A = this chain, B = another copy of it.
Amino acid sequence: MKQNNMNWTIYDIAREARVSAKTVSRVLNDKPGVKETTRAKILDIMRKVQYHPHMGARALRGKRQGCIGITVPAPLNVAPLSQSFFIWLFGELFRLFSPRGEYLCFDMNPFAAQPKPDYARGLWQQLYKACIVVGPLALEDKTIFRIHESGVPYVVFGRLDGFPECSYATVDYEEGCYESTKFLIKRGHKRIAMLKAFSGYEPGLERRRGYLRALEEAGLTPDENLIRSVTFGSRNIANVVHRLLAQSDVTALLDCSGVEDGASIREGARRAGKVPGKDFEVLSWTYADNGAVLAEACAHMWLPVREAASEGLELLGEWIDEKRAGPIHVLYRPVLNEKVTGGEIPKPKRLFDVLD
């Protein structure tokens, strides 16, 4: 008999059980057409020798083998996913995929020491049987098309213009910006400055569009100088706010950067000699329900990104199981909260970290 510590193959099992390899394969895959006694005998041997099928061989022959790949399409300095979001995501993945006995595979490569990052390597190498794309897509992203065409179940926590078929679970940033701007217009503001992040990425574009659409509807002329891209550094935000308030007749600040950094906005205002909530109004975006970025803000827009992602993952599981077909289309609407409830400002569980 073969040594126990060797790797057994279905042929070894077959020889041992005096059946053919195909029968062993049938047992392995829970397929019908095997006598119960034969099945029991084979299962017994498998247990005894601690047999495990070779994943590579399976992937080679059949399809739909492998791990669930988790990948990030943007470098971490563009979308500095926070620890708390990361932990949240891991928890969700665990909750959903642990009972199914899946492997989660993180690609460590994309943005390190690579000239041309390919964030879906694992898919081309047929290591993944499904793929979760975490974060904003670059405007010129082509990879997502290839992922889509590969036919593998996948979901993106973001969208791409001109690719509505894409499988996504995200929040409607355009809608968010449109509603935010409209809200400020309704309060009488005509010079509304916008802080937006993710320049060069789809979410940045969506925000811009929503903002412009609201202005146009109200018959206001947009001023490019009022649209400012910020990065995830608090000094940067303070600087941008400072310049914005110092040199113009801005009466409202729409902070849809998603940085959730109220202190920096306040600091920028202070340098410009203005006080938020008094000299100008602020509407800030937050990723936490009922979270307030700035107590002085006249309203907060809640972007239920986590909630959308959670539903997307759920649906991905069903797609993998072929209980439903792809692609996934989960698009949550942002929610405007005019007042902060309670005395204490709930500290938002950030989606992104501020880099300093």
Instruction: Collect the chain B residues with CB atoms within 8 Å of residue A5's CB.
Output: 146, 149-150
- Is there a chain B Cβ closer than 8 Å to A83's Cβ? yes
Interface segment out of the listed A54-62, A195-203, A212-220: A54-62
Q: How many copies does the complex hold?
A: 2
Query: Chain B: which residue is nearest A96 at the CB level?
Result: B108
Question: Is B86 a contact partner of A103 (Cβ separation < 8 A)?
Answer: no
Total number of A residues with any Cβ neighbor in B under 8 Å: 46
Query: Chain B: which residue is nearest A65 at the CB level?
Result: B56
Bound CA–CA A59/B7 (angstroms): 14
- Is there a chain B Cβ closer than 8 Å to A104's Cβ? yes
Query: Chain B: which residue is nearest A108 at the CB level?
Result: B98
Question: Is B124 a contact partner of A52 (Cβ separation < 8 A)?
Answer: yes
Bound CA–CA A219/B125 (angstroms): 64
Bound CA–CA A109/B96 (angstroms): 11
Bound CA–CA A127/B103 (angstroms): 10
Known contacts A54-B126, A55-B125, A56-B57; decide if A102 and B93 are in contact (CB<8 Å).
no
Bound CA–CA A58/B90 (angstroms): 30
Known contacts A56-B65, A127-B67, A146-B5; decide if A101 and B94 are in contact (CB<8 Å).
no
Bound CA–CA A7/B60 (angstroms): 12
A53 to chain B, nearest CB (A): 6
